[in-house]
Structure 1
Amino acid sequence: MKKWLSPFLLIAFFVLSAAAHFAGWDPIIQFILAAISVIFVAGFLGKATENVAHYAGQRLGGFLNATFGNAAELIIAIFLVKEGLFDMVKASLTGSIIGNLLLVLGLSIFAGGTKFKVQSFNVSLAGMNGSLMIVAIIALFVPAVFLNTHSITTSDTQTLSLIVAGILIVAYIAWLIFSMFTHKKYLADVTEDSEEELPHEHTPDWSKGKSILYLVLATVMVAFVSEWLVDTLETFTTRFGLSELFVGAFLVAIIGNAAEHSAAVMLAMKNKIGASVEIAVGSSLQIALFVTPVLVFASYFYGNTMNLVFSTIELLAIGVSVFIAKSIIQDGKTNWYEGLLLLVVYVILGVSFFMV
């Protein structure tokens, strides 16, 4: 029954979401159907990525999961940028970063910790990830401080944002070269060759070719559903009196992170916490060091440059998330209580954003 139920629901909600969008149904119904459809499509994307990861290896697999898992956020954000909704874009980026660092990582560590007393991963990788997260904070913090202290003008801020965005993209590409090629063994996962893992856990559901095909198909489906979801956000926000900050930072982010949620938690339950950390932290780094800069350049080509000046609340949320995540992963060991601490911080931020 399970073999046909999930594909059936995936197709059913995708078709319903399409019908609601093109037939002009009530925006709230459109939003609900699109949101549910995104979750199913993201789950499909996560499963396809996991199968591809089997053939590519854990580290590359984690990177692919983070990359294709972020496809939903990136595509949603591009449509928002095109509409000029920069505040919601920044809120969704903030939500993606804190969602991955607190919710995805927290759930993974908690779930894995309930099954295994202590889980370990490469401490060198943890240190590098922590340093990169601090670089991301600096990159977001500097333009905001210089603008708010009136040290530079608004137009200069846009120029500074483009320069910083370019530097971040170069830094991220250099990190990929460092982690995937020159220091691949140095950052290898400690459980990669563990004898405790069962053979059937390594068996993929699909062949290599089918996995790649499904990965492309899932990404295309995410693109369509994301556009339908964005079209309903303004009406949804206005009708329920919610702030763009809360909708972007939590609602859109949770929906968009569905792929990371399923894959990261599932891997942690299989004692592959290194891969889970790679997905959660790697996804946050990708959002901060690559997706955000790409959106800055995208907005420039649309004719209205989005700066890197995030609000004080957003910077605080990202800073707090980086601080607690770095302190928990820096020793290369995790347990269920550390996962709970991450979730506690996420709930605190969620309630605070809702009150705005």
Structure 2
Amino acid sequence: MRSRWFTPLLILTTLASAAAHFLSTNEPIRFTLASLSLLLWAALLGKATESVAHYAGERLGGFLNATFGNAAELIIAIFLVQKGLFDMVKASITGSIIGNLLLVLGLSIFCGGLKYKTQSFNTMLAGHNASLMLLAVIALFSPAAFDNRLDQSGMQSFSLIIAGLLIVSYFLWLIFSMITHKKELGESPVMEAPTSGVSQTSNHFEEPEWTKRNSILLLFIAAVFVAIQSEWLVGSVEAVASALGWSELFVGAFLIAIIGNAAEHSAAIFLAMKNRMGAAVEIAVGSSLQISLFVAPALVFISLFFDKTMDLTFTSIELAAIAIAAFIATSISRDGSTNWFEGVLLLIVYAILGTGFYLV
């Protein structure tokens, strides 16, 4: 990062957060310092992602960001699974999916659309993303549909089979998109001029400030610290939320999800404002797909190592939220072009769902 103050502030907030975590018992202080440190590490992660995308391409760069960004959420979820807090795990999975599809994608489209009248990305990729989201919705709906006809053992077996099939489909998608159809699913060549009328500079091909090796190293380091700060923050967020009288559903689906998605927020928005909507969509939608097709199923298998097996039976509220988010997001992005108003629509839907979860 070129700003002189960034590195010292990053080190200072990280040390302060570590000191508060290990030495202080004041949860609000822990929460505040962990949040500040997390935001700065997320900013570094976003910058490193842009640099990696320059060398590896938008699809691989976006995939790496989604993977490293979701590492924090996976670590958080594993801690919750270990404690047997399956309801909060499912709420956080729900929040991660709708947060990426509505909040992250919505803010990216809105912020990018303020500068560029229309932003385009690969339509074939958009169509496949829509189909995969439909698969995820069907898979998550199925256990709830059969809930009354299966006992606990049957539901756990059904969930394990679904989880295995989702993981297989996810890896097949990676082979399809990264190997066999890599060229067809590449970034869109369309580049729109800014709405301000200023001629576009070659931001898209602008030289990164780090080498390829340093970019990957910084991406890895930033992801590790994002995961650490996220875990520290979650340790305090439950006490803070309890003091404020927030429900477990709202904390899991929105508060923890927003915190866990901080990395994706900064990177996707930053790339969209540089007219790299393909990479922004890959981060937002790709992250949701990774959560629903890999992280959630993986947690089912991980829970086998603990006392109780987690199933994939979500509540009707959570399923409705996931279906609504998938429907509006795929409807808006399927044509391969976006504008600021479509971003507003996604944010409004997110606000509607957030209000409902808060009032439950």
Give 5+ residue unaligned stretches, structure 2: 194-199
Distance 2:238 2:36 in 1: 18
Per-residue deviation, 1:119: 1.5
Aligned to 2:197: none
Structure 2 partner of 1:260: 264
Looking at structure 2, the residues matched to 220 and 275 of structure 1 have their Cα atoms a distance apart, in angstroms, of: 22
Contact 1:51 1:204 in 2 (8 A): yes
* 1:159 is the counterpart of 2:163: no
- Give the AA of the match of 2:156: Q
CA contact (8 A) 1:31 1:232 kept: yes
Cα drift, residue 291 of structure 1: 0.8
What's the CA shift string for 1:300-329, capped at 9, x where partnerless? 112321111111111111100001011101
The percent of aligned pairs where both chains have the same amino acid is 62
Once the two structures are TM-superposed, the CA of residue 202 in structure 1 deviates from its matched residue by 2.4
Alignment of 1:173-322 (within 5 A): 173-191=171-189, 198=202, 201-322=205-326
CA distance in 2, matches of 1:232, 1:308: 27
Q: Which residue of 2 aligns with 1:56?
A: 56
Q: 1:28 to 1:347 in 2, by over 3 A?
A: same
State the shift of 1:287 in Å.
Answer: 0.5
- 1:220 and 1:347 map into 2 onto residues whose CA distance is 30
CA–CA distance in structure 1, aligned partners of residues 52 and 190 of structure 2: 16
Note the residue ranges of structure 1 that are not aligned, 5 or more in a row: none
Q: Work out whether residues 191 and 274 of structure 1, in 8 Å CA contact, stay in contact via their aligned partners in 2.
A: no
Q: Which runs of 4+ in 1 moved over 4 A?
A: 192-197
TM-score of the superposition, structure 2-length normalised? Answer: 0.93
Output aligned runs, 1:39-118, within 5 Å: 39-118=39-118
Structure 1: how far apart are the matches of 2:6 and 2:202? 25
Q: State the Cα distance separating 1:236 from its structure 2 match.
A: 2.2
Post-superposition offset of 1:178: 0.3
- Please tell me whether the aligned partners of residues 99 and 257 of structure 1 are also in contact (alpha carbons under 8 angstroms): yes
Which deviates the most, 319-328 or 230-239?
Answer: 230-239
- Aligned counterpart, 1:16: 16
CA RMSD, 1 decimal: 1.9
Q: Mark the CA change 1:281 to 1:200 in structure 2 (over 3 Å): closer, same or farther.
A: closer
Give the direction of change, closer, same or farther, for the CA distance of 1:193–1:239 in structure 2 (3 Å limit).
closer
| TM-score in terms of structure 1 length | 0.94
State the AA in 2 paired with 1:217.
Answer: I
Distance 1:22-1:192 versus aligned 2 partners, 3 A rule: farther
Alpha-carbon deviation of 1:199? 5.7
> Is the 1:42–1:256 Cα contact (8 Å) retained in structure 2?
no
* Shift in Å, 1:96: 0.8
